[in-house]
Amino acid sequence: MDNNNEDYHRLLALKQFDESKAGVKGLVDAGLTSIPSFFVHPTETLSDLKPTHQTPPQSIPVIDLSGFDSDRRGAIVDQVSRSARDFGFFQIINHGISQEILDRTLAAVKAFHELPAEAKAKYYDRSGGGRTGFTYMSNVDLYQSKAASWRDTMTVRLGAVTEDRVPEICRDAVADWDRAVVWLGEVVSELVGEGLGLSAGRFRALSCLGGKTMVGHYYPYCPQPDLTVGLGSHADPGLLTLLLQDQMGGLQVKSSGVWLDVKPLPGAIVVNVGDLLQIMSNDEYKSVDHRVLANMNQEPRVSTAVFLNPSKRDELYGPLPELISKDKPARYRQFTFSEFIQRFFTKELDEKSLKNFFKI
């Protein structure tokens, strides 16, 4: 078969999958025992999925936030700063959000994804919550990627959690999570900023916490987890990401060329640096690649991430003046957030790290 025919049949299969609006869960519910070919990733992508004897036993740092507003603050800032510089990732415990809210949030994501296919179909939309405040779809980069990933996603534009926008089955839990994560985002951004020597509230003053998007990922059982991934290798575009994962695992972070498992801890929230923060910090902090393995367990895996982004899309962003000096000149050009995010959505996930594009 020539390439044109292959491309045609692949596109046809993608459209049939997309137009079914049933997502990956629909394939599992239909009893598939092998995954469709457009989910099969290239050999080079899959070659390092299996752990090797060289994989170090460590994981990303775990930081106890208890007493962050006491005389412990200096020590906590040091830990946050070191983790953001060395790993770009860390987990926080004793962060002030109750276990009840964490559990309800994950349960709400799971409950939405396990609605009957016809109930979810009316929310199926590739706008990512931009027009309506709430959408559901499978693979944001379905038509751009070399291969699809084995997951479905609901997206909520936080601040838009209203009765007519968010499905009733998850509305109250998402609204509670919205309030909790706004507070925690401000706390973490201040700790991150202090670790750079910035004044209190510097990122908030630049509207960097004003745009908040929540995604709720659902990773159903995959019959061939060695042929695909749950979420391909990528770096996040924004300032910070706050991730709540269940206890099943699957998240991996790249560190010194090796993939580290991010072991789930009860009550913990994972924090990672985005490309925008690496740029604004003038390379003091680093945004690193991470991925999620396909789920080989019969029980579905669930996680939710909140992306903290600027709300002023036409303002200029780049390295902060306080972090530029004669010895360390700006390493990136200025850009509007609109240009930045538009660049992100024109490429597939695993080619989306924006740092190189804006380098001077």
One-letter amino acid of 18: D
Q: Residue 1: its pLDDT value, please?
A: 47
Give the architecture-level CATH label for domain 3-358. Sandwich (2.60)
Cβ of 164: how many Cβ atoms within 10 Å?
7
Return d(Cα 151, Cα 222) in angstroms, integer.
9
Q: Residue 289: its pLDDT value, please?
A: 94
Which two three-digit tokens encode residue 259? 């993939």
Which two three-digit tokens encode residue 146? 């070399």
User: If DSSP states are collapsed to H, E and C, what string results for the chain?
Assistant: CCHHHHHHHHHHHHHHHHHHCCHHHHHHHCCCCCCCHHHCCCHHHHCCCCCCCCCCCCCCCEEECCCCCCCCHHHHHHHHHHHHHHCCEEEEECCCCCHHHHHHHHHHHHHHHCCCHHHHHCCECCCCCCCCCEEEECCCCCCCCCCCCCCEEEEEECCCCCCCCCCHHHHHHHHHHHHHHHHHHHHHHHHHHHCCCCCCCHHHHCCCCCEEEEEEEEECCCCCCCCCEEEEEECCCCCEEEEEECCCCCEEEEECCEEEECCCCCCCEEEEECHHHHHHCCCCCCCCCEEEECCCCCCCEEEEEEEEECCCCCCEECCCHHHCCCCCCCCECCEEHHHHHHHHCCCCHHHCCCCHHHEC
Which two three-digit tokens encode residue 72? 């412990």
Which two three-digit tokens encode residue 192? 């991150």
Which two three-digit tokens encode residue 1? 């078969």
Phi, psi of 179 (to 5 degrees): -60, -45
Q: How far lies 314's CA from each of 207, 307, 338, in Å?
A: 11, 19, 6
Residue indicated by tokens 């997951």: 151
Query: What phi-psi label fits residue 4: left (phi over 0), alpha (psi between -120 and 50 degrees) or beta?
Result: alpha
Spans of all domains in the chain? 3-358
Q: Return per-residue pLDDT of the chain as tens, 360 residues.
A: 456 778 889 999 999 999 999 999 999 999 999 999 999 999 888 888 765 445 555 789 999 999 999 999 999 999 999 999 999 999 999 999 999 999 999 999 999 999 999 999 999 998 655 566 899 999 988 998 889 999 999 999 987 566 568 999 999 999 999 999 999 999 999 999 999 999 989 999 998 888 899 999 999 999 999 999 999 999 999 999 999 999 999 999 999 889 999 999 999 999 999 999 999 999 999 999 999 999 999 999 999 999 999 998 889 999 999 999 999 999 999 999 888 888 876 655 555 567 778 888
Predicted TM-score of the model (pTM): 0.93
